[in-house]
Each structure stands twice: as C-alpha cells, then as structure tokens.
C-alpha cells in the first residue's frame, strides 16, 4: 500500500514537526507513581492502622467511580484504565487526617475528579492539581474535621516533644508538630527543642499528621524511585526543598528563640510529599528546566511565609503554595520556553 493510500485509510497519523517520541505512556507513568507511593502506603498502615486503609480505599474507589460515571455521562471514552484516577485517590488520601469520616473522603474524591479534572476536559487540561484542590475544598468546607488530629498508633506528639515546651501535654495529643510550632510562634513562646529523639521519629513517621505525609523515609524512597525511572524532573523537588532548607536556616539563625530549625521544616508537614509527588505533576507544573526551578523556588518561599509568619492561623503552607503556583504555570512556560533557532526573541 502506498503512503497516500495509508493516509486515506487512516493508518498513518500526519502532523507537523517537530516530532518528539517518548517510550512511556500515561498508564506506565501512573504505574510508576503508584509503585513509588507503596512505601508511604505501607507506613500509613503501620502507624495509623485500619483507619488509613479505609480512607485510601474510599478515596481511590470514589475517584475511579466518579471518573467512569463522568466520562460516560459526557459521552467520552473511558479513561479509568490510565490509572490517573487511582493516583489522584491515593494522593488525596495521603493528605487527609486519619480520623476524618470516609464519607467526607468520598466527597473529596468526587470533587477532585468531577470539578477539578473532568470539568476542564480530563487529564492534561486541568490547571490545578486535583488532589490538592480537593484537599483545599475539604479544608475550607469541613475545617473542624480536617484539623482534628488523632495520634498515630505508636505514640502521641506529647511523647516526643521536649519537656521544655510551655504547652501542656493534654493539648499535644491532638495536634501535629507544625501545629505546635505555629501555636508557640503566635503565643510568643520559645521554639520547641529539636532533639535527636524527635528528629528520628519525624524521619520514620511516628507522629501525628496526615496519613501519607509523616514518614520522610518512605517518601524519600519513593522519590528516589521516580528519579531513577526519570518520571519526575529533579529541578522542582530540589528547588522546593532547597529553598525551604536555606530559608529556614536563615530565619532560624536570625531568631533561634522563636523559629524552628531547617530540619524541623523539612521533616514535618507535607513538604516532602508535596515536593516529590504534587509539585512534579506533569500536567500542572512547568515543562522547561528553568521553569521547574522557578516553580519549586516560589513554592518554597510561599511555604515558608505561611509557616513562619506569626499572624497566620494556618500552620502548613505546602498545599496552598503549590495551588497558587499552578495558576502561574502558563506564564512560567511562556517566559522560559526555548526559542527555536532562527526565531526572534520578541
């Protein structure tokens, strides 16, 4: 069959240059992300038990079902097989407190898929990370449920913080380390002591927090896998984490009595989860290397601002920093794109 005949028969895809070829597919990329999330998944079961498993199953099931129903209602091809809904469900679950109602988790999963993804046209068209947008929706709509923290299965935060803190132990059993730090900052109290025992527990994940964010070890293992598989760029997590590390070091040096050290900021909250798995989302992050560095840097700055300003009520800044920067991705791509040879820079 001639080339013209193949074109007429629809067996060839004809498009203008340039032509870029990649060995991976959406399904293979999402499969790698799921594999990378396994260490954090196992850690969530270990520290939070059946509560974590129920939330994860609920979020994944609600996301997959919502995507299937939404695509069917819109008369579009089913896309559940690409596993992107599964990834969204897992990431949403990882951003939820262990004591939240499964019903609210299901509401978050439906919101993530229907409102944050399919309303824009599906995967590749959504401007904001669906899991983070759903977390923000739940936080604003059900603030009490999203900010009530039950201790991990092993230990409460009261057992790992230094005894020098002015906050009473009864208040510590239902808050995260970041919550204590921000509470002390607002009250003008001295910064909590970062002891080796606390650092070790933060690294392993044996503290209060969202079910998928507490174990730095598990998240770093997943990040190393994604980098080795070249699924995520190194620029975004390096710029994000590096900016927080350098900025927190400077802030702590300027006011060691009221600001926590960089190690505390790196090991608490959703920094590693956000920098490795959320900020690197291929749809809602920049496509150029320079753009990814800018994106990560700005996320780090916003995170530090939210965490360290005493007048603020919210102790964490990762989710909102990424969502804010998602809105600037088209501009970052525009101003960091490579100019083809022979074109004007104007």
**Residue 155 scores a pLDDT above 50:** no
Which of 9-18, 57-66, 335-344 bottoms out in mean pLDDT, i.e. has the lowest?
9-18
Q: What is the pLDDT of residue 160?
A: 46
Per-residue confidence at 1, pLDDT binned at 50, 70, 90?
low
Alpha-carbon distance of 278 to 64, in angstroms, equals 19
> 250 is written with which tokens?
């400077």
Q: What is the pLDDT of residue 188?
A: 64
The model's pTM: 0.85
78 and 71 Cβ atoms separated by less than 8 Å: yes
Q: What is the pLDDT of residue 106?
A: 97
Q: What is the mean pLDDT of the chain?
A: 85
Question: What is the domain partition of the chain in residue ranges?
Answer: 26-146, 162-336
Instruction: Report the share of the chain in percent with pLDDT over 90.
Output: 63
Over residues 89-122, the pLDDT tens digits come to 999 999 999 999 999 999 999 999 999 999 998 8
Q: What is the pLDDT of residue 273?
A: 96
Mean pLDDT of 144-148: 88
Over residues 48-77, the pLDDT tens digits come to 999 999 999 999 999 999 999 999 999 999
Residue with tokens 């490795």: 276
Q: Residue 122: left if φ>0, alpha if ψ -120 to 50, beta else—which one?
A: left
Q: What is the pLDDT of residue 193?
A: 65
**Residue 42 scores a pLDDT above 90:** yes
Over residues 169-217, the pLDDT tens digits come to 433 344 677 877 777 666 666 666 677 888 888 899 888 889 999 999 9
Over residues 259-278, the pLDDT tens digits come to 888 999 999 889 999 999 99
Alpha-carbon distance of 111 to 243, in angstroms, equals 31
What torsion do the CA atoms of 247, 243, 192, 269 make, to the nearest 10 degrees? 150
Alpha-carbon distance of 257 to 305, in angstroms, equals 18
196 and 162 Cβ atoms separated by less than 8 Å: no
Q: What is the pLDDT of residue 180?
A: 72
Residues 6 or more apart whose CB falls under 8 angstroms from that of 261 comprise 194, 248, 249, 252
Mean pLDDT of 279-297: 95
Alpha-carbon distance of 72 to 272, in angstroms, equals 36
Q: What is the pLDDT of residue 212?
A: 93
Q: What is the pLDDT of residue 97?
A: 93
Give the C-alpha distances (Å, rounded to integers) separating 36 from 40, 134, 198, 284.
8, 22, 26, 19
**Residue 164 scores a pLDDT above 50:** no
> Which residue would you say has higher pLDDT here, 246 or 342?
246
Count of other CB atoms within 10 angstroms of residue 75: 6
């Amino acid at each position: 069959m001639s080339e013209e005949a193949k074109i007429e028969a629809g067996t060839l895809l004809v498009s203008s240059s340039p032509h870029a070829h990649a060995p991976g597919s959406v399904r293979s990329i999402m499969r790698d992300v799921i594999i990378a999330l396994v260490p954090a998944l196992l850690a969530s079961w270990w520290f939070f038990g059946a509560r974590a498993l129920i939330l994860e199953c609920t979020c994944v099931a609600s996301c997959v079902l919502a995507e299937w129903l939404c695509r069917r209602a819109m008369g579009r091809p089913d896309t559940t097989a690409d596993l992107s809904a599964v990834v969204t469900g897992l990431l949403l679950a990882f951003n939820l407190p262990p004591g939240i109602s499964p019903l609210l988790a299901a509401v978050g999963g439906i919101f993530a898929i229907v409102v944050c993804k399919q309303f824009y046209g599906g995967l590749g068209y959504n401007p904001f990370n669906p899991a983070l947008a759903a977390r923000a929706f739940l936080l604003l709509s059900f603030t009490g449920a999203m900010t009530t923290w039950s201790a991990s299965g092993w230990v409460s935060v009261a057992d790992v913080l230094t005894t020098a803190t002015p906050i009473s132990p009864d208040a510590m059993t239902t808050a995260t380390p970041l919550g204590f730090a921000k509470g002390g900052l607002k009250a003008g109290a001295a910064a909590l002591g970062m002891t080796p025992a606390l650092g070790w527990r933060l690294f392993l994940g044996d503290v209060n927090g969202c079910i998928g964010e507490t174990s730095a070890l598990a998240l770093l293992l997943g990040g190393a896998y994604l980098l080795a598989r070249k699924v995520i760029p190194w620029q975004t997590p390096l710029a994000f984490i590096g900016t927080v590390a350098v900025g927190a070091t400077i802030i702590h040096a300027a006011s060691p009595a009221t600001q926590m050290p960089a190690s505390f900021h790196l090991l608490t909250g959703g920094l590693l989860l956000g920098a490795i798995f959320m900020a690197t989302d291929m749809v809602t992050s920049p496509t150029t290397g320079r753009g990814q560095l800018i994106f990560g840097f700005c996320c780090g700055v916003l995170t530090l601002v939210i965490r360290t300003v005493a007048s603020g009520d919210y102790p964490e800044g990762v989710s909102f920093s990424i969502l804010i920067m998602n809105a600037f991705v088209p501009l970052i791509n525009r101003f960091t794109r490579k100019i083809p040879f022979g074109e004007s820079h104007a």
